[in-house]
Chain A
Amino acid sequence: MVDALIGMEVHVQLNTNTKLFCRCPTLSGIPNTKTCPTCLGHPGSKPVLNKRAFHYAIKFALALNCSIAQSLVFSRKTYFYPDMSKNYQITQYELPLAVNGKVVLDSGKEIRIKRLHIEEDPAGLVHEEISLVDYNRSGIPLVEVVSEPDISSAEEARDFMKKLMSILNYLDIFDASSGVIKADVNVSVKKNNFERVEIKNVTGFKEIERAIEYEIHRQNNEQVVRETRSWNADLGKTFSLRKKETEEDYGYITEPDIIVRQIPKLVIDKLSQEIPELPAQKAERWVKNFKIDSVDARIIASDPQVASLYEEVAFQCDKILSARWVRRELLRVLNTAGVKLSDTALKAYHLIPLFKLLERKEITDRTGQQLIRELAQSPFDVGLRVKNDGLSAVGDVSEIGKLVDLVLDENVQALQDYRKGEQKAFEFLVGQIMKKAKGRAKPDVVRTLLLEKA
Chain B
Amino acid sequence: MIQEYIKRVQSGEDCSEVIAKFFDEAKRIENYNYFTVLTPELAKEQALLVSKRIKAGEFLPLAGLPVTIKDCICVKGVETTAGSDILRGYKPLFNASVVQRLINAGAVIVGKTSQDEFGFGGFGINTGVGFSPAKNPLDPSRVCGGSSSGCGGITRKTSLAHVGIGESTGGSIVNPAAFCGVFGLCPTYGRVSRYGLIDYANSLDKIGSLAKDLGDCASVMSVISGFDEMDETTSTCPVPDYGSFLAKGVKGLRVARIKEAFGEGVDEHIKNKVHSVITNLEKQGASIREVSIPVVAEYAVPVYYLIAMSEASTNLAKFCGMRYGQHAPLKGSFDEYFSAVRTRHFGAEAKRRILLGTFARMAGYRDAYYLKALKIRTLIIEEYKKVFCSSDVLVSPTMPVIPPVFEDVKRLTPLQNYMMDILTVGPNLAGLPHLSVPVNKEWVGVMFTADHYKEELLFQAGGGCG
Enumerate chain A interface residues (CB-CB to B < 8 A). 37, 40-49, 76, 78, 80-82, 85-88, 130, 133, 247, 249, 251-254, 256-259
Contact = CB atoms under 8 A, between A and B. Distances in A.
Interface string B201-218: 111000000000000000
Contacts of A257: 199, 202, 231-233
Interface of B: 73-74, 80, 82, 87, 90, 92-94, 96, 194-199, 201-203, 229-233, 310-311, 313-314, 317-320, 322-324, 330, 334-335, 338, 358, 361-363, 366, 370, 374
A93 B170 CA distance: 27
Contacts of B92: 37, 42-44
Contact of B231 (A46, A85, A247): A46
B36 to A, nearest CB: 14
Contact of A256 (B196, B311, B362, B363): B311
Contacts of B87: 43
Most buried by B among A48, A247, A253, A258: A253
12 contacts: A42-B92, A42-B324, A43-B199, A43-B318, A43-B319, A44-B198, A48-B230, A80-B335, A80-B338, A252-B361, A254-B203, A256-B202
A78 B324 CA distance: 20
Contacts of B198: 43-44
A78 to B, nearest CB: 5
B358 A259 contact: no
Nearest to A249: B363
Contacts of B358: 251
Nearest to A48: B232
A251 B366 contact: yes
Nearest to B342: A80
B100 to A, nearest CB: 12
Looking at chain A's contact residues, the main secondary structure is loop
Contacts of B94: 37, 44
Contacts of B230: 46, 48
Most buried by A among B201, B232, B334: B232
A81 B201 CA distance: 22
Contacts of B320: 80, 87
Contacts of B74: 43-44
B345 to A, nearest CB: 14
A76 B199 CA distance: 14
B343 to A, nearest CB: 14
A20 to B, nearest CB: 13
B316 to A, nearest CB: 9
Given A43-B319, A46-B194, A80-B320, 8 more contacts: A42-B92, A46-B231, A46-B232, A251-B358, A251-B361, A254-B374, A257-B232, A259-B233
Given A78-B314, A86-B318, A43 B90 contact: yes
Contact of A85 (B197, B201, B318, B363): B318
Contact of B317 (A48, A87, A130): A87
Contacts of A46: 194-195, 230-232
B370 A253 contact: yes
Contacts of A37: 92-94
B334 A82 contact: yes
